């Protein structure tokens, strides 16, 4: 009974309704009011940077779910998630979202890049000449990031041969459903698309703020892209240019050891060409997919520490530790800490007291006391990068709050229960289990959830100078072995606490010298590849 009068009223007021609907809301985004100035363009470009923090990419998934499992950086403590176990076993099955979800995040990064590039092109039509340099830099950044997201897609989803299956190359924002159906190019074509974007970015970038993408970031990325695309001559040109003219230099060992854990004074340093900037957010942060300013990369591999009652405590979710086999490759051959002869027991039953042997602890402490000094025993001590990449139980310390009091506590093995025993549920053998927590890209100053709301501030490095040194050495080894050896030794010297540019007592003498790993390891007599592994571990 009421419907028809209401409909009649609407029909009689149709003209005024149309006028109302045509009103512009200045607070709402539309093609007419956004983007209309350089500040708006900056906001669009910010979204391209923001995709780095996506939960399915460097915000969380990339390390603990994917790459650290694939390359055996880590091992799992809890084995009830079969999809996770399959990744470590190299037996990923269809539908494993831990591996497929990063495709979504990286595709989004490409989409944001394409959107920003189109908006920049449109805005250029009416932009004043005074804004040209800023627009050039914005365009260069977006081209860099389109290459960056494609690079990571290709590394995970592409086949290694140049004629193998790569990824889709989408150059613009799809306008129709048909434009969204894009096939996968060959791996070689994908590398060329990455290279083309970086060449274009190189011609546009002039800014020097290392918190953003710079000309030297693009050049270093180009060097790396040419290398992996098999374009050796061009790779050599860009590698040499970056080495000689970028102004970059290796930091000392002490700074190197501290640069992966979110301490501002060690980040954006002299050896970094580009790093993903992360900022902890202890008040407003929230992980599990929410957009944020930092990263929750270490959610699955946090440190464990020993609480006041002797129990092991995870400093976050906690299911991963550095794979024990990596200790041997770093040259660490001491016995497991709870093995016979190391674990000491006095008394029995409820009165039992546990400790580690004085001889064992003295040796572990000697490593630390002599670290990065000439007294560090090259022949008998492990590679010092072990202590950059991992935390040693019973020796290293981290901050943690117990009973309302925050303080330093000894690192524990990644296990459950009291520090002197193994939990039957894990099946670990105290005679052989080491369980060192990962140190790189980890939060060391409290519980990840309680202290940072799961949003940590460790920057994630994409390209550093030592990587370029080693790529250069690899390309030079067959034509100029002496030069190749010198660049390998620069990286090696820094790792052992020596000046990178001066001959030292720890220098390799040939490109076939013994490295720190075991004699049956394929890296045992390959300093270039061993140094690349040790330097880029984690």
Look at the chain and report how many structural domains it folds into: 3
| For range 220-244, the mean pLDDT | 99
* DSSP bridge partners of 346: 353
Q: What is the pLDDT of residue 272?
A: 99
Same domain, yes or no: 53 and 150: yes
Residue 525 CB-density burial (10 A; 0-12 exposed, 13-18 middle, 19+ buried): middle
Last residue of a domain, one of 206, 233, 266: 206
> Please, which pLDDT band fits residue 25 given cuts at 50, 70 and 90?
low
Task: Decide: 108 and 57 in contact? Cβ < 8 Å.
Answer: no
Tell whether the model's pLDDT for residue 10 goes beyond 70.
no
Look up residue 437 and give its two tokens. 């927590």
Question: What digits encode the pLDDT tens for the residues 243-269?
Answer: 999 999 999 999 999 999 999 999 999
| For range 440-444, the mean pLDDT | 98
Q: What is the pLDDT of residue 89?
A: 93
> Please, which pLDDT band fits residue 425 given cuts at 50, 70 and 90?
confident
Q: Residue 364 falls within a domain, yes or no?
A: yes
Q: What is the DSSP letter of 333?
A: -
358 contacts: CB under 8 Å, gap ≥ 6? none
Question: What digits encode the pLDDT tens for the residues 314-369?
Answer: 999 889 999 999 999 999 999 999 999 999 999 998 899 999 999 999 999 999 99
Q: Tell me the three state secondary structure of residue 47.
A: helix
321 contacts: CB under 8 Å, gap ≥ 6? 74, 75, 77, 301, 413, 414, 435, 436, 437, 438
Question: What digits encode the pLDDT tens for the residues 358-411?
Answer: 999 999 999 999 999 999 999 999 999 999 999 999 999 999 999 999 999 999
Q: Residue 93 falls within a domain, yes or no?
A: yes
| For range 118-122, the mean pLDDT | 98
Q: Residue 383 falls within a domain, yes or no?
A: yes
Q: Residue 236 falls within a domain, yes or no?
A: no
> Please, which pLDDT band fits residue 31 given cuts at 50, 70 and 90?
low
Q: What is the pLDDT of residue 9?
A: 32
CA dist., res. 274 & res. 242, Å (int): 13
Distances 428 to 202, 329, 404 between C-alpha atoms, Å: 52, 21, 32
Q: What is the pLDDT of residue 13?
A: 42
Percent of the chain with pLDDT over 90: 86
345: number of CA atoms within 13 Å, CB side? Answer: 12
Question: What digits encode the pLDDT tens for the residues 489-500?
Answer: 999 999 999 999
CA dist., res. 221 & res. 456, Å (int): 26
Look up residue 76 and give its two tokens. 């799992």
192: number of CA atoms within 13 Å, CB side? Answer: 7
Q: Residue 487 falls within a domain, yes or no?
A: yes
Q: Residue 168 falls within a domain, yes or no?
A: yes
Domain around 525:
470-536
- In DSSP notation, 485-527 reads HHHHHHHHHHHTTS-TTS--TT--SSTT---SS-TTSTTTT-H
Give the number of other Cβ atoms within 10 Å of residue 354's Cβ. 15
Same domain, yes or no: 329 and 474: no
Q: Residue 249 falls within a domain, yes or no?
A: no
Q: Residue 193 falls within a domain, yes or no?
A: yes
Last residue of a domain, one of 146, 177, 206: 206
| For range 442-459, the mean pLDDT | 93
Task: Decide: 447 and 303 in contact? Cβ < 8 Å.
Answer: no
Tell whether the model's pLDDT for residue 4 goes beyond 70.
no
| For range 93-116, the mean pLDDT | 97
């Amino acid at each position: 009974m009421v419907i028809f009068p209401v409909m009649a009223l609407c029909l009689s007021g149709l003209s005024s309704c149309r006028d109302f609907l045509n009103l512009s809301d200045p607070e709402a985004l539309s093609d007419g009011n956004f983007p209309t100035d350089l500040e708006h363009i900056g906001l669009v470009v910010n979204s391209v940077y923001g995709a780095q923090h996506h939960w399915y990419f460097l915000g969380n998934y990339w390390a603990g779910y994917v790459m650290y499992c694939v390359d055996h950086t880590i091992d799992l403590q809890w084995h009830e998630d079969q999809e996770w176990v399959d990744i470590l076993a190299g037996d990923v099955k269809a539908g494993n979202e831990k591996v497929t979800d990063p495709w979504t995040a990286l595709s989004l990064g490409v989409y944001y890049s394409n959107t920003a590039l189109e908006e920049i092109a449109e805005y250029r039509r009416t932009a004043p000449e005074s804004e040209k340099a800023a627009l050039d830099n914005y365009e260069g950044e977006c081209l860099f990031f389109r290459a960056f997201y494609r690079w990571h897609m290709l590394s995970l989803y592409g086949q290694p041969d140049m004629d193998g299956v790569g990824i889709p190359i989408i150059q613009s924002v799809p306008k129709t459903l048909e434009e969204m159906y894009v096939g996968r190019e060959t791996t070689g074509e994908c590398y060329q698309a990455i290279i083309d974007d970086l060449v274009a970015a190189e011609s546009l970038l002039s800014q020097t703020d290392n918190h953003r993408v710079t000309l030297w970031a693009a050049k270093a990325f180009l060097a790396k892209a040419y290398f992996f695309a098999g374009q050796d001559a061009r790779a050599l040109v860009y590698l040499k240019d970056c080495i000689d003219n970028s102004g970059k230099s290796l930091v000392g060992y002490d700074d190197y050891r501290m640069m992966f854990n979110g301490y501002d004074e060690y980040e954006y340093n002299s050896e970094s060409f580009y790093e993903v900037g992360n900022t902890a957010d202890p008040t407003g942060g929230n992980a599990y997919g929410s957009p944020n300013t930092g990263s929750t990369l270490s959610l699955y591999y946090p440190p464990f520490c020993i609480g006041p009652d002797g129990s092991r405590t995870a400093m976050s979710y906690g299911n991963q530790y550095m794979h024990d086999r990596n200790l041997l490759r770093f040259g660490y051959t001491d016995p497991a800490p709870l093995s016979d002869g190391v674990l000491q027991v006095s008394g029995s039953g409820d009165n039992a007291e546990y400790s580690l042997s004085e001889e064992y602890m003295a040796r572990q402490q000697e490593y630390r006391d002599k670290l990065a000094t000439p007294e560090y025993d090259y022949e008998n001590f492990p590679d010092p990068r072990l202590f950059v990449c991992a935390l040693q139980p019973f020796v290293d310390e981290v901050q943690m709050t117990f009973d309302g009091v925050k303080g330093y506590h000894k690192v524990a093995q990644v296990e459950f229960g009291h520090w002197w025993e193994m939990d039957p549920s894990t099946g670990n053998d105290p005679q052989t289990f080491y369980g060192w927590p990962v140190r790189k890209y980890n939060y060391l100053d409290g519980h990840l959830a309680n202290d940072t709301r799961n949003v940590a501030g460790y920057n994630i490095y994409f390209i550093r100078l030592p990587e370029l040194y080693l790529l250069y050495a690899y390309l030079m080894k067959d034509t100029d072995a002496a030069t190749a050896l010198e660049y390998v030794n620069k990286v090696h010297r820094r790792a052992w606490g020596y000046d990178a540019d001066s001959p030292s007592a720890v220098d390799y003498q040939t490109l076939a010298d013994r490295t720190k790993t075991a004699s049956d390891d394929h890296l045992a007599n390959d300093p270039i590849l061993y140094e690349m592994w040790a330097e880029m571990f984690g």
